[in-house]
Amino acid sequence: MTSEQSVEPGMSPDGTTSSDEETARPRQAGFRYALGRSLISPLARLVYRPRIEGREHVPPTGAVIFASNHLSFIDSVAIPVAAPRPVHFLAKSSYFEGAGFRGWLSRTFFQSIGAIPVRRGAGQAALDALDLQRQLLDEGLAVALYPEGTRSTDGRLYKGRTGVAFLALQTGAPVVPVGLIGTDKVMPVGAKVPTVSERITVKFGAPLDLSPHGPASSGRARRLATDDIMAAIHALSGQELAGAYNEAPAQGAIEKIKQALPHERR
């Protein structure tokens, strides 16, 4: 989540109404997710024996945003497995577009764990992702997001980007901080399959009401709300703080200048 522009739910960035197909997308995974959750969650708990703390903090109904640290690919499996209610998250559209049996298997798996396909990127792609997440929250559902933006490859907790706070302030949804511990050991970056020799811990914190910081239109409110979210995640995960944003190395002089300059998404 990096986009800070405001787009009303059901509206495209140019102010036109989004199509019925786009509006219906959040519901497409419903049956497969219900079936997958009933099968995958008990199996994953049996095999991986996750330690789960703070489930009582999760609101049983209504819109909620799970804001988590991000250590491994399996984070998006660990949170839905551990949460006491269905959780949705956005995943790369390529996971849903493969052909043949392998494509069907990938598509079915991601739908069964609550994933919603989205094309990643900046500009229009970021606005589309933001609008899709807002649709889910407008339907009273739970979504999982990673304020760091991408996985930490060194185990440290990086600074949060303000997109999650923007979404929370705009929709009024409470934010439940999540601390994941050990997922990077179960499935390190680059690993093909997870190991069963390690255990993970999933900690849910008390919901955060960010509204006292101000409206979503205020950059200061978004920054302060983001800092609160990251402080709560840090208290749960206990990670070393990186004190910087998690960004890929800049390619070329122009990209280096862009990373050096302050900009709103920070």
**In this structure, what CATH number is given to the domain that contains residue 221?**
3.40.1130.10
The pLDDT, as a whole number, for residue 22 is 39
The strand pairing partners of 88, in sequence order, are 143
Q: Which two tokens stand for residue 60?
A: 């049983």
The pLDDT, as a whole number, for residue 258 is 47
pLDDT tens digits, 133-176: 899 999 999 999 999 988 999 999 999 999 999 999 999 999 99
Q: Is residue 145 a contact partner of residue 79, using CB atoms and an 8 Å limit? A: no
Q: What is the DSSP string of 177-239?
A: EEEEESHHHHS-TT-SS--SS---EEEEPPPB--GGG--TT-HHHHHHHHHHHHHHHHHHH-P
Residue 169 in any domain: the answer is yes
The pLDDT, as a whole number, for residue 5 is 35
**Domain encompassing residue 165:** 20-245
**Could you give the CA distance from residue 138 to residue 9 in angstroms, rounded to a whole number?**
8
Q: How many domains does the chain have?
A: 1
- Angle at 182 (CA atoms; ends 57, 204), nearest 5 degrees: 5
pLDDT tens digits, 30-64: 666 666 667 777 777 788 789 999 999 999 999 99
Measure Cα distances from 189 to 17, 33, 38, 162 in Å.
Answer: 40, 26, 28, 25
Residue 12 in any domain: the answer is no
The pLDDT, as a whole number, for residue 41 is 73
Residue 263 in any domain: the answer is no
Residue 133 in any domain: the answer is yes
The pLDDT, as a whole number, for residue 3 is 36
Residue 111 in any domain: the answer is yes
The pLDDT, as a whole number, for residue 172 is 96
Residue 91 per-residue DSSP state: E
Residue 266 in any domain: the answer is no
Residue 123 in any domain: the answer is yes
Residue 3 in any domain: the answer is no
The strand pairing partners of 118, in sequence order, are 92
pTM over 0.85: no
**Could you give the CA distance from residue 132 to residue 210 in angstroms, rounded to a whole number?**
21
The pLDDT, as a whole number, for residue 30 is 60
The strand pairing partners of 203, in sequence order, are 53, 179
Low-confidence ranges of the chain (pLDDT < 50): 1-29, 255-256, 258-260, 262-266
